[in-house]
Structure 1
Amino acid sequence: MSIYFYDLVPVYRRIVLISALLYAGYQDYKTREIDDKTWVYPSIILAPLTFFEVYNRTPTYLQIYLFSLFLGLLIAILTLKLKLTGEADAIAFAFISLFEPPGYHIITLFPLGSVIILSLVPTLLYTCYNLYWNLKHGSFAGYEAGSLVKALAMLTMRYISRREYEEKSYMYIPSTQKQGHKLTIELSPMIPEKVENPGLDEFWAVTLAPYVFFLSIGYLIYTILLLTF
């Protein structure tokens, strides 16, 4: 009975974890905001399950888990401090690191790292959609921008109307800058600060990608891969 229960603990944990991540990803996709309860309530269930799973392994395994957790929290803190991710993304990093114990396979040795890599799949699809949108709607008429800036804008931004921005301001940050009669595009590897509409009918804007949504898909792929070995 106890062996049967022990075997099911990882299953229960992953069901709760993936449900929480998918729900958080849905919120992120719809509004770019995630309710704190989305993290808190599942944590109440996940904490004892994870503790039971780790506690019943060897002392050496505990060290592996703590090292994996340390790396995950370090990534969460550094990316947040450097403004490479938002607060919700950093929380998702910590959430996965805390409640997805590592395994001995190369894919599972550092779960967060694998999930981040696998999240590149939906990220790439999102980038392709941006490119499709901009090929259809984009314009650099009147802009002073080099080839590299234009290429990055086509992949990471969208050329939107004022109406689109007003309806979905939560997912856009204008990157068009007016300098007299000149128009330029501001690029930054960090999450830009919220700025006002540049006063144009159409302009380039950074799309605040729903990265928690991408992470949830990455974790789903990760879980499916675990079933193959």
Structure 2
Amino acid sequence: MALPLLSYPTTSQNQRVNGFEIPGDEQPWQYCTETGRDRLEMDALIMAAYRRIFNEQQVLDNNREPILESQLRSGQLTVRDFIRGLLLSETFRRRNYDCNNNYRFAQMCIQRVLGRDIYDSREQLAWSTVIATQGLAGFIDRLLNSEEYLENFGTDTVPYQRRRSLPHREIGQLPFERMPRYGADHLSQLEALGNDFSRDRDLSTPAKLPPDPVLKIGAAITIFGALALTSGIIAVVLSWFGWIKI
């Protein structure tokens, strides 16, 4: 018997506030099979689904799922089924699930599937519990079958980041694609291996300069070379006018 999802407060976020703005270029583009099924539109929809689930860093030819794409083009799969196939693919598991803990993975999937950020750590804990008790497939099914997903995206629309930009804000929320794929614990593991990711690492270890005699010799060679080059250019110009012979 599956455990019920833990309760968590649904704090106010942009996507939970009704908007009255006129749609413009800043609004997210919605890719939906209801608008048409010609080849170019399906190509754009499939790439939008890859960018949403895999992010730009993982949209590679060898990461694509040609069988799922063929079934989607022929109408055997809905967009929601195609999203489920990408989330359950071996590539997504290896590049996102296996290299993160349940907390970070739950946050990533909520961003990419539901189109919003987590409300707080309580929701992160609730969905992490689903991953631990029902596995990856059960967690993905709970997200795709949730009322929130069906109400906003249905079965024919590729998920998108909902209401990232607001009219009264000069700068909108950062796209989820720009957020790090790994959590803080993975960064700690890399630092334990000797990697230094501090911003001031170049300032803390100033470069060692050569001794003064070496610097003086190098400066003299540079000056001599510049004079020789200048003299050669002047000699060539004078020879053009016949004033000297080279």
- Same fold flag (TM > 0.5): no
The structure that is helix-richer by fraction is 1
State the TM-score bracket (shorter-chain normalisation): under 0.3
More strand by share: 1
Output the TM-score relative to the length of structure 2: 0.22
